[in-house]
Structure 1
Amino acid sequence: MTQTPDNERAAQATRIAAKPWYRQLYVQVLVAIVIGIVLGWRWPELAAAMEPLGTTFITAMKMLIGPIVFLTIVGGIAGVADLKKVGLTGIKALAYFQVGTIVAMADRFRGRRSLSSFGATGDPPAGRVPAPPGGEGLRDVRDAMGACAPHGPGRRARRR
């Protein structure tokens, strides 16, 4: 008996659905959380040594979340060939995007003008630049790379 495309798709869907429990993403995440808790509880010095790996991962996730959401929305809208199918939702999304962009641009221009009226137009004179808290700047390459990564909208990088 030959397989038709429909039977082949059904067989493939069955194979995909029949993954072992340990191959499920949520199980792997839960196991990683438990391992992290046990590691921090039993071997805190090893957990502290692995801290840069976790910090780098979280920073990478923060950097990628915005573009992923944006590209998902744009891809969903662009994937619809007929604008009538998008309908009112597509028009609302485009209108919100335009209004948000205009508000952000106006706020930026207004902020730049208002800061210049307070004398914040150039570099501060030498000797008037405040020292970093605790008398230390970026300690090593890891701190420098972490300071370059965005930490979400409206948030500044925290220094240790």
Structure 2
Amino acid sequence: MQQSRRLARMKLAVRMAACQKGLATITISTALQQRIAATSIQGISNMKFFRMFILMLLTSIGLSSAANAGGVLQPPQIITHVSFQQNGFIIYADGWPNPNNCDTAAGVMLLATDSNYDKAFALLLTAYSTGKKVSGYSDGCTLHDGVSYNSIRGSKYLVVR
């Protein structure tokens, strides 16, 4: 039903264009009518897909900016001291950035629940004991003794230099 309406509108548009140019009424072959209808339906479905894609893209941009943005802890810092706590391991340095706007930027916490906690803990402890610089990725804040710290991920961009 909808397809026949579109086809009728297209025929009318072709006839009106022909009349405006002073041409006689044009007869459109059945094959051409079907091709026009298929092209318009394909164009409409492509347009729906495009609109859906744009909507999903804008929604994902809005959601990612609404969540904690997180960020890379750069430039690499030398760990000045460490603190082992029940819920994780805190490393302190003088120049950490504060990508999540936590209460303090003096330290970052590797959470005990991190999937690579054991490996990351060993890596960070080695970096501390050898005076190497550390950089990593933080995607949120975590509370310890009423103060929020950036949490460092043991599975994403943890680098010792």
The answer to whether the superposition gives a TM-score over 0.5 is no
The TM-score with structure 1 as length reference comes to 0.23
Larger radius of gyration: 2
Which of the pair is proportionally richer in strand?
A: 2
Name the structure, 1 or 2, with higher relative contact order (CA <8 Å, separation 6+): 1
Q: 1 or 2, which has the higher helix percentage?
A: 1
